[in-house]
A and B are shown apart, each in its own frame.
Chain A
Amino acid sequence: MDEIIKAPPLSRRRLLGALVATGAAAAVGPRISAAQPDAIITRPIPSTDEKLPAVGLGSWITFNVGYDDVARASCAEVMRDFFEAGGRLIDSSPMYGSSQATIGYGLYTLGKPPALFSADKVWTSPGSRGPPQIEVSRKQWNVPRFDLLQVHNLLAWKEHLPTLFAMKASGQLRYVGITTSEGRRHRDFEQIMRTQPLDFVQVSYNVLDREAEARILPLAQERGMAVIINRPFRQGALIDRVARHPLPSWAGEIGCVSWAQLLLKFIIAHPAVTCAIPATTRPAHARENVGAARGPLPDKVMRQRIESLVEQL
């Protein structure tokens, strides 16, 4: 399923990764920049086989900056670095205040990057308000159509899903999905996954919140659905928890230079996961996060090692 460039056991890149993690990289700095970057890890969307980079970009809070030109320019920089690093999927929702308009501003400023995979949501009740809300969102993003529309937190899903499937059938939309977060309504979520021909599902999953592993992720594999992972850093709390501890030296074995990359690699190494969508206000973090979708991923043993390490911290 993964589109990973498999690295030989003691490749130069892995060695350099280990050196970076142990702080010895300074001595070989120039050689690092000369090294060829690994190809970005992509995952196929099961319903079409279209490939998506395994790290995307969220926009909750971080892009809700109103009509503040300075802050919007800074969000555009985050998007610029995200695309330059090889990212594609940006996720938003009409629930996120001005985030959609900020994305529209960023896309306009960046000359409408062709790589964009636009993932938005419908979040309103009753369902009759769905189509006008989607149209407002589309105008704010300033895109001809969305790649993916998801029913946000299952709100009025019985009414919205027929609308989204009809839009897909008429070519106004490419993919349909549903979302939840922090383990909410997993029973209903599973039921919808079993009965509806969804392309995507979106759930929370990270090294400490692994509820989705039990049923949702296997079900997505069984039903051939792409999986987007929200809250990869528990809204930043996970980073705060680990940041004061040194990154373990073995993180370098999978090319991680930061905790953020280790946490992201843990997520995207799960075979059911298509794409994790961390949000950030910082261009450097956007690059770092997309960087987690390069190089080797942790195997089962190393994933367990990450789990027990973070649980202890």
Chain B
Amino acid sequence: MSEWWTYRPSSFLLFSARTYYRLFELYNAEIWPWQVLALLVGVAILVLLRKPGTWQGRTISALLAASWLWVAWAYLYSRYASINWMATYFAAAFALEALLLIVLGVGHGLVWRPPAAWISRAGIGLATFAVALQPLIGPLVGRSWSQVEVFAVAPDPTVVGTLGVLVLASGWPKWLLLPIPILWCLVSGATAWVMQSPDAALMPAAAALVIVAGGGSVLSRMAPARDASGTPALD
């Protein structure tokens, strides 16, 4: 793109906020009552996170992969792409994340050993927030209930829930699973910011928390004397 520096973030916004949120309204109406199943998937992940051993970890990864794939196809590719041609690329990125979750999460398996209690709390907190609270944010800031964004149905809570899970994981596969959700937080935050949505800071804040937790986890491992005392048994 020539003279890229002359473009503002708003130059890339192809639609109005009204159209963007109305898309969720139509999507929700068309897939109802699958949101109930999605909610059950979210609750199942939260339950499994309480004691994530090997099979629990693989099940969580499989459920997350299914959620990412669904969002890629049903929302990003089939609906969002109708108003934003970039959504086709977003859909491809979400499908890639689903693939990574299958290969690294289900196939290889994630290790669940958060190095500090606060990191563990941050992960569980993020995942719980994504499933139980994030869908309420829209209505709380004045959007209609019919436009609610549900975990495993809409991208934002799906991404935050996944980030929560990844905060709890350790080992190299986690680092390969983090970039796409973190990038999405930035894309989604920028979109909401340009649309002047009151909750625009939410997704970047989630990404910031995960980056801090990631940094904390690296530091804790470098200083073993200060590590896991007080960490709940998650292994």
Contact = CB atoms under 8 A, between A and B. Distances in A.
A68 B6 contact: no
A65 B83 contact: yes
B74 to A, nearest CB: 14
Interface string B1-32: 01100100010011110010011001000000
B19 A64 contact: yes
A288 interface: no
B143 interface: no
A97 B19 CA distance: 12
A185 B7 CA distance: 12
A66 interface: yes
Nearest to A69: B26
B85 A97 contact: yes
A73 interface: no
Nearest to B6: A184
B82 interface: yes
Contact of A68 (B14, B19, B84, B85): B19
B15 A64 contact: yes
Contact of A66 (B10, B23, B85): B23
B15 A61 contact: yes
Interface in B66-109: 79, 82-85
Interface string B150-164: 000000000000000
A71 interface: yes
Interface string A222-240: 0000000000000100000
B134 to A, nearest CB: 24
A71 B17 CA distance: 13
Contacts of A65: 15, 19, 22, 83
Contacts of B82: 66-67, 97-98
Contacts of A281: 16
Chain B CB count within 10 A is highest, among A61, A183, A235, for A61
B7 to A, nearest CB: 9
B158 to A, nearest CB: 21
B137 to A, nearest CB: 23
A97 B22 contact: no
A258 to B, nearest CB: 22
Nearest to A94: B85
A96 interface: yes
Given A66-B83, A97-B85, A98-B83, A185 B3 contact: yes
B84 to A, nearest CB: 6
Contact of A97 (B3, B26, B83): B83
A236 to B, nearest CB: 10
B6 A182 contact: yes
Given A61-B13, A71-B22, A66 B6 contact: no
Interface in B99-137: none
A66 B79 contact: yes
Given A96-B14, A97-B14, A68 B26 contact: yes
A125 B13 CA distance: 21
Nearest to B26: A68
A64 B6 contact: no
A68 B19 CA distance: 9
Of the listed residues A61, A97, A182, the one surrounded by the most CB atoms of chain B closer than 10 A to its CB is A97
Interface in A60-87: 60-62, 64-68, 71
Contacts of B83: 64-66, 97-98
A154 B3 CA distance: 12
Nearest to B80: A66
Interface of A: 60-62, 64-68, 71, 95-98, 154, 182-185, 235, 281
Interface of B: 2-3, 6, 10, 13-16, 19, 22-23, 26, 79, 82-85
List of 7 A-B pairs having minimum Cβ-Cβ separation, nearest first? A66-B82, A97-B83, A66-B83, A64-B15, A97-B14, A184-B3, A65-B19
Given A66-B83, A95-B85, A97-B85, 12 more contacts: A61-B14, A64-B16, A65-B15, A65-B19, A66-B23, A66-B82, A71-B19, A97-B84, A154-B2, A183-B6, A185-B2, A185-B3
30 contacts: A60-B14, A61-B13, A61-B14, A61-B15, A61-B16, A62-B16, A64-B14, A64-B15, A64-B16, A64-B83, A65-B15, A65-B22, A66-B19, A66-B23, A66-B26, A66-B82, A66-B83, A68-B19, A68-B22, A95-B14, A97-B82, A97-B83, A97-B84, A97-B85, A98-B82, A182-B6, A184-B3, A185-B3, A235-B10, A281-B16
